[in-house]
Structure 1
Amino acid sequence: MGKEVLYLKIAKIMMEQIQTETLQFGDKLPSLRSAQKLYNVSLNTIKLAYMELESRSLIESRPKFGYYVSHTSQRKLDLPSVTKMKDSKIEGTKEDLIDKVFGTISDSGITQFALAIPGKNFLPLAKMKKSIINVIKSKNDFGTNYEPVQGNHNLRREIAKWSLVMEGKITEDDLVITSGAMNAIYNSLMAVTQPGDSVAIESPAYFGILQAIQLLGLKAVEIPTHPVYGVDLDALKKVLPKLSACCFVTNFNNPMGFQMPNEHKKELVRLITHYNVPLIEDDIYGNLYFGAERPKPCKFYDEAGLVMWVGSVSKTMAPGYRVGWVAPGQFKDRIIRQKLVQTVCSPSLYSDVIADFLEYGRYDHHLRMFRNKVYSNYLQIQRAVTSYFPDNTKISEPKGGFMLWLELDKRICTEDLFDEAFSHKINFAPGRMFSQYDQYRNCMRLNYALEWTDRVESDIEKLGNMIKNNI
């Protein structure tokens, strides 16, 4: 029997065991060596069988632990719908709704499902404190002097060092330090567009990007987006000749959570290179993967310097420090000139603290702990939504990050639901915030990077009951 047929036969046996729930969600599969002996085949044949099951999202690899039956294998709720290209009247972003949601940011009595901010128990607070003390002791100027406009040299070097996913393609000279990722995105948009230009974004899209596009007098072109595979490249290709830029979150997208497959990333880079259209790639969640390794960004495949790669520590270490960066490729000089006019330089104290942490704070260990907590919460929130929400709820399938996108019954308006939930000290991000059109009214985004307590579980149940009562 040929090797190809044999590995598919083994994969089919395991597939049937998963479908009949002989193997259930969370069960560990035999190790590669054990499976090799069990089926009396070569190690490579077993690897191919497991790869086949992984490609179907039936099993997942957890670094150093092995292979497990994935949640996807037995999911009971459908994936969210893919929207169509819109040519209807643009409504604009819902500024009042965004203001209302952000108005809850300092209320500690709220269960904070709304904002994309990790809870304090996810952050390395004690080690950050050590880094602050180290920097204060070592700086004669106490952080009062100007830094180079491009950004703190030590920080740029440490970021380049930790950008292992780029396999040495990024150096400290390629990076410009910014005031968080949104400042990097805003500056990148400003560097490659003029008022009236068109910029492609996902649909749904992070509302901060929508606001930046609007503020710069640009036109957002919302591209249909699949909850697992990401942007519809065929739809994008049709409008690319009319675009001045694209702005996408390719790894663990906000709000959908998808990880664009590598082949799609390569094709996206090929397309933008062919049409000479810059891509602003927000990779802020890239280190928060659930799988075996960090996914490559589009920047990795960029040879023309058209991809502007954006990152930040806001989602993993210190949201309030506002330390971000961009590798702007061929647009670096423009970004630096803009930064000189806008802010002259970044605050040196915060840059030095982050640089110190990256050098001495065991960043890899912190990220590993962070990912384990987030993944555990993902399983909890998936289970809770499946248990407490109506059966016709559609739910995303993030491969990392900490955003969950839900599509509810069409009779539900999540703007109204927000007010009801808020009266119970619960909040979330209503779907209407994520488009310039009047859509996603029956959708919501939930942040699950918070300490999972009995109250959190109870509040998910309350939210589910509110939805049931409004149908």
Structure 2
Amino acid sequence: MKKEETGKGNFVYLRIAGIIEQQIVDNTLRTGDKLPSLRTICSEYGVSQNTALSAYYHLENKMLIETRPQSGYYVKYSRARIPQVPDTSSPSGIANFGISELLVSKVYDNLGEGGHLPLALATPADELLPIAKLNKGLLLATRALRGSGVAYDKAEGNERLRRQIARWAFNMECSLSHHDIITTSGCLNALSYCLMSVTEKGDTVAMESPVSFGMLQLAEALGLKVLELPTHPESGVDLNAFEGALKNKKVKASLLISNFNNPLGSCMPDENKKAAVQLAEKYNVPLIENDISGDVYFGPNRPRTCKTYDQSGIVLWCGSVSKTLAPGYRVGWVAPGRFKENVLRMKLYHSISGTSITQETIGSFLETGRYESHLRKLRHTLHGNMLRYSGAIADYFPECTKASRPRGGSVLWVELPPNIDTVDLYEKALARNISFAPGKIFTLQDQYQSCMRLNYGLLWNVQTEAQLKALGELAKRN
């Protein structure tokens, strides 16, 4: 038996594909360059032809290369077809305009509309989720739980799930025990408990800008003020602005999406995460970390978190499977550090316990190893989709359109020319059964009128490309 057919060797094709991909991205291999033949790959790496084919098939799915009959494989990727990245945002300060409640409600109302291209969503399509396996897991959960799951669970949440989350935290180089974790009804619920635990009505919370409209609505509902901080589409929040807010005692807490920000897709470098934690500790300001998309990375390893560098318990790390596995199950969690008793008290006040059956199902799914297998496929699909969307934006959208280049997650931030109002464009797109999220709902200030968020967690097919083209044409006429 060949080496490649044993153990981790099953994924040697990914290593080969990764080497070629890096050469393409670095422009060592340029558009139109011919790639080594399958025979050469087999000889150079000591692999079978099936493995060499798998490597090239992997790259084809990402739209990095193409095959030409009777000729071989060629580089297809072109930097010229990738839109320019938007500049660092520049919010003016404390929010004073407020979210358009009517617009947010309309976006929410259209999320489940049949026939729409759901570009406004930030979750994977049902076809990308292991629904049959989850259904089987639900049946097994009813047999495993006391009273078939109708009884209250302990306040901390399902123990199997908490143990698996703690084990999974090893991937981000974070040492957690199941005793450190409290389960919640999704990530937004976890963020809610955290904010209620460390702030009071009238306090100010620092957030990136733009940022998830769900987080903005939550802050408003709790009577909090929001200080929006400058944020770069690739490296995340501006640390100088972050320190300035903490140093001047303007904020009572900070709320950051460290990995694959929604809607920008930015990922804070590890050194920035470490520095943010050190600043939070220096000024004694709790850092609430939304890490809901951290598992959907396109690189070789899962990015670390702010919690990875937390030595004092100042970080409240929140997560969920809503963006990766089962959005409707509403299974989330928080590792609240030194604030555990406060967070647990908030959960008791507001919900007593979580939903036993869905938590047991997800805990079992993680325990069997099915989650990592599912994630590998999901990451591969989403990475390919992101590249396809970027190409479609370059081909079909107005000139000078900019777009973020996320290294994970499922959303893309698009900045159209300044004369285009995406709220007006949204109304016209709905008439064509296309739904996206206008940029205006990702801020409490008067900004991002020409921006939008697109979800690339869909099946890529002829219809998807056609509707992206239609959206681009609408934008050109707007």
Q: TM-score, normalised by structure 1?
A: 0.85
Pick one of 329, 347, 360 that aligns with 1:321. Answer: 329
Whole-Å separation in 2 of the counterparts to 1:152 and 1:25? 54
Q: Which amino acid aligns with 1:414?
A: T
- Between stretches 144-153 and 16-25, larger displacement belongs to 16-25
Q: What's the offset of the Cα at 1:139?
A: 3.2
The verdict on how the C-alpha distance between 1:309 and 1:469 changes in structure 2, with shifts beyond 3 A counting, is: same
Whole-Å separation in 2 of the counterparts to 1:343 and 1:303? 30
Q: Which 4+ residue blocks in structure 1 deviate beyond 6 angstroms?
A: 14-21, 25-30, 68-72
The verdict on how the C-alpha distance between 1:344 and 1:448 changes in structure 2, with shifts beyond 3 A counting, is: same
The verdict on how the C-alpha distance between 1:21 and 1:168 changes in structure 2, with shifts beyond 3 A counting, is: closer
The verdict on how the C-alpha distance between 1:22 and 1:368 changes in structure 2, with shifts beyond 3 A counting, is: closer
Q: Which residue of 1 aligns with 2:426?
A: 418
Q: Which amino acid aligns with 1:412?
A: I
SS at match of 1:228: coil
Q: Which amino acid aligns with 2:359?
A: S
Q: Which residue of 1 aligns with 2:158?
A: 152
SS at match of 2:149: coil
Q: Which residue of 1 aligns with 2:148?
A: 142
Any conservation in 2 of the 1:77–1:393 contact (CA below 8 Å)? yes
Superposed CA deviations along residues 107-156 of structure 1, whole A, max 9, x for unmatched, are 12100000112101111111111211211233351111111111111111
The verdict on how the C-alpha distance between 1:99 and 1:24 changes in structure 2, with shifts beyond 3 A counting, is: same
Q: Which residue of 2 aligns with 1:8?
A: none
Whole-Å separation in 2 of the counterparts to 1:99 and 1:159? 33
1:431 equivalent to 2:431? Answer no
Superposed CA deviations along residues 80-126 of structure 1, whole A, max 9, x for unmatched, are 13232414771111111110001012212100000112101111111
Pick one of 393, 396, 403 that aligns with 2:404. Answer: 396
Unaligned runs of 5+ in 1: 1-13, 38-58, 60-67
Q: What's the offset of the Cα at 1:335?
A: 0.6
1:298 equivalent to 2:306? Answer yes
SS at match of 2:154: coil
Whole-Å separation in 1 of the counterparts to 2:328 and 2:205? 29
1:365 equivalent to 2:368? Answer no
Q: Which residue of 1 aligns with 2:240?
A: 234
Superposed CA deviations along residues 378-399 of structure 1, whole A, max 9, x for unmatched, are 1111111111011210110101
Aligned residue pairs, count: 423
Any conservation in 1 of the 2:291–2:305 contact (CA below 8 Å)? yes
Q: Which residue of 1 aligns with 2:364?
A: 356
Pick one of 210, 221, 228 that aligns with 2:227. Answer: 221
Whole-Å separation in 2 of the counterparts to 1:161 and 1:384? 39
Q: What's the offset of the Cα at 1:263?
A: 0.9
Pick one of 255, 259, 265 that aligns with 2:267. Answer: 259
Q: Which residue of 1 aligns with 2:131?
A: 125
Whole-Å separation in 1 of the counterparts to 2:350 and 2:95? 34
- Between stretches 163-172 and 343-352, larger displacement belongs to 163-172
Whole-Å separation in 2 of the counterparts to 1:306 and 1:72? 44
Any conservation in 2 of the 1:72–1:397 contact (CA below 8 Å)? no
- Between stretches 228-237 and 165-174, larger displacement belongs to 165-174
Q: TM-score, normalised by structure 2?
A: 0.84
Q: Which residue of 1 aligns with 2:178?
A: 172
Q: Which residue of 2 aligns with 1:24?
A: 31
- Between stretches 109-118 and 282-291, larger displacement belongs to 109-118
Any conservation in 1 of the 2:317–2:336 contact (CA below 8 Å)? yes
The verdict on how the C-alpha distance between 1:296 and 1:432 changes in structure 2, with shifts beyond 3 A counting, is: same
Any conservation in 2 of the 1:390–1:467 contact (CA below 8 Å)? yes
1:334 equivalent to 2:348? Answer no
Q: Which residue of 1 aligns with 2:60?
A: none
1:347 equivalent to 2:351? Answer no
Q: Which amino acid aligns with 1:368?
A: R
Whole-Å separation in 2 of the counterparts to 1:467 and 1:233? 34
The verdict on how the C-alpha distance between 1:348 and 1:387 changes in structure 2, with shifts beyond 3 A counting, is: same
Whole-Å separation in 1 of the counterparts to 2:171 and 2:360? 23
CA RMSD of aligned residues (A): 2.5
SS at match of 1:142: helix
Q: Which amino acid aligns with 1:211?
A: Q
Q: What's the offset of the Cα at 1:77?
A: 2.4
